[in-house]
C-alpha cells in the first residue's frame, strides 16, 4: 500500500476523466453487499446520505434546505429540476458557454418549456452584465440556469456573481454543480442558489447511479403539480422521502452503499477543502508537466478549474489523438477526447482517487506515447 493513498484503487486502469472516475478500494468493496430497498437498515443509509449532503452545502439549518436523491445520471437530475420547477407559464434563461449549458437548453426544448439560451464563447466566462440586461429586458423569465464548472473546457464560471444578479432581479436560480460540488467551495447562501444539482460519481468519488438536488423548501413547495414528467417529478420524489424515507421507485442500492462509504472517506480526508487541495495539486502537476511535453492548455489560468483541463493538439502533423489515446490506454491510463467544435482539444481530469504521483505516471506515459508516434518533444 503506497503511503500517498491509504485506500488505493483496485488494479484497474486509472481514469483521468470528469466522471465516472477512479474510486477507492473501500468504495468498491461497499458494493459487495445486497440491500433491500424497503428495509429499515437501507433506509437509514439513505437518510444519512441526505443529511450529510445538506451538511456539505454549508447552508445554515435555518435556511430550510432539502436534499432529494434522483435515480439516473447527472443529466436525469438536471432534467428533473428543469421540468419540475419552471412554472406552467414561466420561462427559463439558460446561461451557456459549453456543451452542458446547451444540454439544459435541449432539455427545456424537449419538454416544450419556453426558454432562451444566452450564449458566450466556450473559452470565456459569462458576462454578468449581459445576464442582468437579459433579465431586465424580459419580465417573463422566472428561472435562470447556469453551469458552475463547464467540463467542455474545464472553465469555472462565476457562480457567486451570477447568483447575486439573479437574486437581485427576483428570479429563481438553478446551479448545475455537477463537477464542482464536493471539491470547490460554494457559497450557497451568498449565491442565492435555489436548486443545486450534482452527481454521485464526481468529486465525492462514488459510482454512477443517482444524482442529488439540494433545494430550498419554500421554493420546492411552490412547485407541486408543475412537473412535466412522472418519474422525474422533483416535488413528488421529495414527498416520498418525507413520507417513509424511501425512493418512489427502485433505488440504485449498490451505488447508494458506495456513496455512503465515499462520504465517509471525504470526511476522513478533511472535507471539501482538503479534497480540493489534492485536486489542485494534481492539476498543477499536470499543467506544468504537460507544458514540458509541448501541450498548451486551452484556457487562461485565471478561469481554469482543477477538475478537468482541455489541451490543444500539439503543432505536429504526426499527432493523432486516437493513436495517443490507445497508447495511453495500453499503459493503463484513460483520458478524455475534446468536446469543442472549433478547436482540436483533448481533456484530462484530475479528480477521483488519484494523487500527484499518479499524474507523474501519466506524464511519463504521455511522453512515451509521443515518442511512439515520432512527435517532436520540446528540448528541456
- Whether 190 and 317 map to the same domain: the answer is no
Q: Is the pLDDT of residue 380 over 70?
A: no
Decide if 1 is inside a domain. no
Higher pLDDT, 339 or 109: 109
Average pLDDT estimate for 161-190 = 97
Looking at the chain, the whole-number percentage of residues with pLDDT higher than 70 is 96
pLDDT for 8-31, tens place per residue? 544 689 999 998 999 999 999 999
Which are the contacts of 92, defined by CB distance < 8 A and separation ≥ 6?
82, 86, 104, 108, 113, 114, 115, 116, 141, 142, 143, 144, 145
- Do 68 and 197 contact (CB within 8 A), yes or no? no
- Whether 246 and 286 map to the same domain: the answer is no
Decide if 2 is inside a domain. no
CA dihedral 147, 152, 158, 162 (to 10 degrees): -40
**pLDDT averaged over the chain?**
94
Poorest-pLDDT segment among 80-94, 157-171, 280-294, 366-380:
366-380
Q: What is the pLDDT of residue 379?
A: 64
- Residue 327, domain CATH: 3.90.1150.10
- Whether 42 and 190 map to the same domain: the answer is yes
Reading the block at residue 353, the C-alpha cell is 482517487
- Do 162 and 132 contact (CB within 8 A), yes or no? no
pLDDT band at 249 (very low <50, low <70, confident <90, very high): very high
Reading the block at residue 307, the C-alpha cell is 477538475
- Whether 241 and 345 map to the same domain: the answer is no
- Domain-terminating residue out of 210, 242, 266: 266
Q: What is the pLDDT of residue 40?
A: 86
Q: What is the pLDDT of residue 240?
A: 95
- Domain-terminating residue out of 266, 281, 296: 266
pLDDT band at 377 (very low <50, low <70, confident <90, very high): confident
Q: What is the pLDDT of residue 5?
A: 54
Q: How far apart are CA 154 and CA 28, in angstroms?
A: 27
Q: Is the pLDDT of residue 2 over 50?
A: no
Q: How far apart are CA 40 and CA 46, in angstroms?
A: 10
Decide if 131 is inside a domain. yes
Decide if 212 is inside a domain. yes
- Domain-terminating residue out of 246, 266, 286: 266
Average pLDDT estimate for 287-308 = 96
- Residue 204, domain CATH: 3.40.640.10
Number of structural domains, the chain?
2
Q: What is the pLDDT of residue 9?
A: 47
Decide if 359 is inside a domain. yes
Side by side, the strands of the sheet bearing 308-312 are: 308-312, 345-349, 336-337
- Whether 253 and 129 map to the same domain: the answer is yes
Q: What is the pLDDT of residue 332?
A: 96
- Whether 137 and 190 map to the same domain: the answer is yes
Q: What is the pLDDT of residue 378?
A: 84
Reading the block at residue 241, the C-alpha cell is 422521502
Average pLDDT estimate for 243-268 = 96
- Whether 189 and 52 map to the same domain: the answer is yes
- Whether 127 and 200 map to the same domain: the answer is yes
- Whether 190 and 333 map to the same domain: the answer is no
Decide if 135 is inside a domain. yes
- Whether 283 and 134 map to the same domain: the answer is no
Q: How far apart are CA 171 and CA 192, in angstroms?
A: 10
Decide if 82 is inside a domain. yes
Residue 213: its H or E element? strand 210-216
- Whether 50 and 195 map to the same domain: the answer is yes
Q: Is the pLDDT of residue 272 over 50?
A: yes
Q: What is the pLDDT of residue 342?
A: 80
pLDDT for 138-153, tens place per residue? 999 999 999 999 999 9
Higher pLDDT, 125 or 380: 125
- Whether 239 and 163 map to the same domain: the answer is yes
pLDDT for 167-178, tens place per residue? 999 999 999 999
Decide if 5 is inside a domain. no
Q: How far apart are CA 81 and CA 83, in angstroms?
A: 6
Helices (H), the chain: 25-30, 40-57, 74-85, 99-110, 128-137, 159-168, 217-222, 234-244, 253-269, 271-292, 321-330, 356-372
Domain range enclosing 336: 14-23+271-372
Amino acid at each position: 500500500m503506497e503511503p500517498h493513498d491509504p485506500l488505493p484503487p483496485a488494479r484497474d486502469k486509472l481514469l483521468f476523466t470528469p466522471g465516472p472516475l477512479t474510486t477507492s478500494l473501500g468504495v468498491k468493496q461497499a458494493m459487495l453487499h445486497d440491500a433491500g430497498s424497503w428495509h429499515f437498515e437501507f433506509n437509514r443509509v439513505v437518510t444519512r446520505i441526505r443529511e450529510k449532503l445538506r451538511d456539505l452545502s454549508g447552508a445554515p439549518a435555518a435556511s430550510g434546505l432539502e436534499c432529494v436523491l434522483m435515480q439516473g445520471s447527472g443529466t436525469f437530475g438536471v432534467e428533473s429540476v428543469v421540468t419540475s420547477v419552471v412554472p406552467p407559464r414561466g420561462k427559463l434563461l439558460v446561461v451557456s458557454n459549453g456543451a452542458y449549458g446547451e444540454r439544459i437548453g435541449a432539455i427545456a426544448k424537449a419538454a416544450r418549456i419556453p426558454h432562451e439560451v444566452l450564449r458566450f464563447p466556450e473559452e470565456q466566462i459569462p458576462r454578468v452584465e449581459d445576464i442582468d440586461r437579459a433579465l431586465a429586458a424580459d419580465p417573463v423569465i422566472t428561472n435562470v440556469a447556469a453551469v458552475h464548472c463547464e467540463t467542455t473546457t474545464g472553465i469555472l464560471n462565476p457562480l457567486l456573481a451570477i447568483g447575486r444578479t439573479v437574486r437581485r432581479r427576483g428570479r429563481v436560480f438553478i446551479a448545475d454543480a455537477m463537477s464542482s460540488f464536493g471539491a470547490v467551495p460554494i457559497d450557497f447562501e451568498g449565491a442565492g442558489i435555489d436548486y443545486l444539482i450534482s452527481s454521485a460519481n464526481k468529486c465525492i468519488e462514488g459510482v454512477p447511479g443517482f444524482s442529488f438536488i439540494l433545494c430550498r423548501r419554500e421554493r420546492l413547495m411552490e412547485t407541486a403539480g408543475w412537473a412535466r414528467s412522472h418519474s422525474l417529478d422533483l416535488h413528488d420524489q421529495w414527498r416520498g422521502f418525507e413520507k417513509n424515507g424511501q425512493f418512489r421507485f427502485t433505488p440504485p442500492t449498490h451505488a447508494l452503499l458506495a456513496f455512503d462509504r465515499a462520504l465517509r472517506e471525504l470526511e476522513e480526508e478533511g472535507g471539501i477543502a482538503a479534497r480540493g487541495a489534492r485536486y489542485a495539486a494534481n492539476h498543477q502537476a499536470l499543467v506544468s508537466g504537460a507544458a514540458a511535453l509541448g501541450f498548451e492548455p486551452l484556457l487562461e489560468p485565471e478561469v481554469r478549474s482543477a477538475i478537468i483541463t482541455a489541451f490543444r493538439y500539439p503543432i505536429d502533423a504526426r499527432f493523432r489523438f486516437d493513436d495517443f489515446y490507445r497508447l495511453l490506454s495500453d499503459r493503463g491510463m484513460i483520458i478524455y477526447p475534446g468536446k469543442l467544435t472549433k478547436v482540436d482539444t483533448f481533456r484530462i481530469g484530475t479528480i477521483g482517487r488519484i494523487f500527484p504521483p499518479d499524474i507523474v505516471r501519466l506524464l511519463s506515459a504521455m511522453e512515451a506515447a509521443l515518442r511512439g508516434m515520432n512527435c517532436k518533444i520540446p528540448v528541456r
